């Protein structure tokens, strides 16, 4: 499976939000990230989020960054060059 890091991260964030009943707008508020910034990430208009943004998203989801990034697709995907 070929994908980009952004594709896989966005999918992961959407799954977690769905499981927790959190909208993307609510995640933006919980994370302290502008809604427009998070929306750009989620719709693929922005490149891979930097570590600070990933940390804020993880905090908004009440997880550590390592938990956010620890999922099978991250290990089982062949990534395209971005």
Pick the residue with more confidence: 46 or 27?
A: 27
pTM for this entry: 0.85
The two three-digit tokens of residue 51, written as one number = 């570590």
CATH pick for 2-79 out of 3.90.120.10, 1.10.260.40, 3.90.1200.10, 3.30.930.10: 1.10.260.40
Residue-range domain boundaries for the chain: 2-79
Nearest CA among 24, 20, 13 for reference residue 48: 13
The H or E element that residue 72 is part of is helix 72-76
pLDDT digits (tens, 9 = 90+) for 22-33: 999 999 999 999
SS3 (DSSP) at 2: strand
Helices (H), 21-71: 24-31, 35-42, 51-60, 65-69
Q: Which single residue is written with the structure tokens 């930097």?
A: 50
Can you give the pLDDT at residue 71? 84
CA distance 16 to 63: 11
């Amino acid at each position: 499976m070929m994908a980009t890091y952004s594709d896989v991260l966005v999918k992961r964030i959407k799954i977690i939000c769905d499981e927790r009943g959190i909208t993307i707008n609510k995640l933006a508020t919980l994370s302290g990230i502008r809604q427009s910034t998070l929306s750009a990430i989620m719709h693929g208009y922005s490149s891979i989020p930097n570590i600070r943004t990933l940390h804020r998203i993880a905090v908004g989801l009440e997880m550590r960054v390592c938990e956010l990034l620890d999922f099978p697709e991250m290990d089982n995907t062949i990534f395209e060059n971005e």
